[in-house]
Amino acid sequence: MSKLWQKDNVSVNEKIEKFTVGRDPEFDVLLAPFDVLGSMAHTRMLESIGLLEASELAEIQVELQHIYQEIQSGNFEIEEGIEDVHSQVELLLTRKLGESGKKIHSGRSRNDQVLVDLKLFTRSRLQEVAEASNNLFELLISLSDKFKDVLLPGYTHLQIAMPSSFGLWFGAYAEALVDDMEMLQTAYKIANKNPLGSGAGYGSSFPLNRTMTTELLGFQELHYNVVYAQMSRGKTELFATTAIAQIASTLSRLAMDICLYNSQNFGFIKLPDEMTTGSSIMPHKKNPDVAELLRGKTNRLKGLPNEIQLVMGNLPSGYHREMQILKEILMPAFDEILNCLDMTYFMLSNIEVKENILTDEKYDMLFSVERVNELVLQGVPFREAYKIIGNEINSGTYSPNRNLNHTHEGSIGNLCNLQITNMMQEVLSRFNFEKAELAIADLLK
């Protein structure tokens, strides 16, 4: 079957075609609902500037609605010999409507068509990641509150340092997700700009109303400069994978803690037997495979921004075919991070926390700073108090003071979880998901 761009009496070498198409059909199916939404907005705009008759628009909108429903029910596919999702949607319209179906490409190029599809796709998936991250955040805050009085050794350089608590530990990862959400919000903002109407990167002689399609699709802003609209390809993917990588970094570190804390040498937490795996020769083994795989999967996700940087390196302005490869990097990343967030939530929901850990005398040295501070409160200068306790430790006369009195903001006795929750809510409010949701719902009416 001929391509949208193919000239008469010219055919592409089969080997070349296979190489250039690559895995596009596999990933284009994921773009299908967004391609239809883009076409619904674009054709409404075309009718408003006189490039479609009202009757043509009405039948196109009905058929696009039907295609959208087929996609949602899982009955959409890109047929053999059809190059991409854009060609498939246009083919379905033309089969059904004839000449009016052929008119929908007026005023746009496949370049801005795939761009708007990717922007809508990325915006939607980032919302899913934000919601899943917030679910994990709420669980971490809940666990922090629940175990706020259960003490835990704190470490620096993997040496015991000072008393910590499960409240601090869970709460630390909750606040980490607040910063990660800031990165997500930035990525969402970059994705939430409309490139439609930029054409192949140089606009159109048609009097397109780009503000109209921006509003119809619920974008926050327009990519005004048509050259930059095309240059945003790669940058959108980079910001999205950077945000994913930051969440992955948080989950990876948490997974590593769980691997350590679940081991017999630490013994601070326990994963239920049904969440561990055994050994083929050691009957006592209960391996934390779920945490180890989380660590591996999230570490791999941290490399995605670098992959995008390498693909996009040294490219001049304008469209270039290697941008197609970015789909293979970006699109599976959303499923992977969502799977990791879900598994982390499930694992933490079933974790068992050990109490009275610090009563063991091997943790006596954790309280050395408490003894120093005790002397300081009695009027001894800090440097002198430090030497006194150091000498007690060296001489074997040191006796720990296990009475903790940490009251400042963010410490064991004052976790500030309410303030951390307020920070998260403030970041979430800036996404303004409702604007996009309402616009898409209205478009589909």
Averaged pLDDT, 307-327: 91
What's the distance, Cα to Cα, between the start and end of the chain in Å? 34
pTM, entire model: 0.93
Question: Alpha carbon of 221 to those of 43, 192, 216: distances in Å?
Answer: 20, 7, 12
- Four-point Cα dihedral 306, 311, 313, 316, nearest 10: -150
**What does the pLDDT look like over 121-160, one tens digit per residue?**
999 999 999 999 999 999 999 999 999 999 999 999 999 9
Q: What is the DSSP code string of 232-273?
A: TTTHHHHHHHHHHHHHHHHHHHHHHHHHHHHSTTT-SEE--G
The CA angle 130-135-137, to the nearest 5 degrees, is: 90
Please write the tens of the pLDDT for every residue from 415-435: 999 999 999 999 999 999 999
- Is residue 280 annotated as a catalytic residue, yes or no? no
Q: Please, what is the average pLDDT of the chain?
A: 93
Q: What is the largest CA-CA distance in the chain?
A: 95
- Fold held by 111-146+163-208+220-359+410-443: Fumarase C; Chain A, domain 2 (1.20.200)
Q: Catalytic residue at 249?
A: no
Query: What are the phi and psi torsion angles at 160 (to 5°)?
Result: -60, 135
pLDDT of the residue at 5: 44
Residues 6+ apart with CB under 8 A from 8: none
Cβ pair 342, 290 in contact under 8 A: no
Residue 8 binned pLDDT confidence (cut-offs 50, 70, 90): low
State the catalytic residue, choosing from 11, 55, 279, 349: 279
For residue 82, the model assigns a pLDDT of 84
Phi-psi region of 117 (alpha: psi -120 to 50; beta: other; left: phi over 0): alpha
What confidence score (pLDDT) does residue 293 get? 93
| pLDDT for res 117 | 97
Q: H/E element holding 156?
A: strand 151-156
Chain segment 113-123, per-residue pLDDT in tens: 999 999 999 99
Q: Choose from 17-26, 130-139, 309-318 the range with maximum mean pLDDT.
A: 130-139
pLDDT higher at 4 or 113: 113
**Pseudo-torsion of CA 318, 323, 324, 328, nearest 10°?**
-160
The residue from 157, 205, 280, 399 that is catalytic is 157
Residue 213, class by beta-carbon neighbours within 10 Å (0-12 exposed, 13-18 middle, 19+ buried)? buried
Structural tokens at position 212: 């109209």
Per-residue confidence band for 273, with pLDDT thresholds at 50, 70 and 90: confident
Q: According to the model, what pLDDT value does residue 14 have? A: 75
In this predicted structure, the answer to whether residue 1 has a pLDDT above a threshold of 50 is: no
Q: Has residue 11 got a pLDDT over 70?
A: no
Which CATH number applies to 14-106: 3.30.460.10, 1.10.275.10, 1.10.600.10, 1.20.120.1730? Answer: 1.10.275.10
Task: Tell me which DSSP letter residue 141 carries.
Answer: H
Rounded (10°) CA dihedral 198, 199, 204, 208: -60
What's the pLDDT score for residue 3? Answer: 53
The alpha carbon of 432 is separated from its chain's Cα centroid by a whole number of angstroms, namely 17
**Rg, C-alpha atoms of the chain:** 29
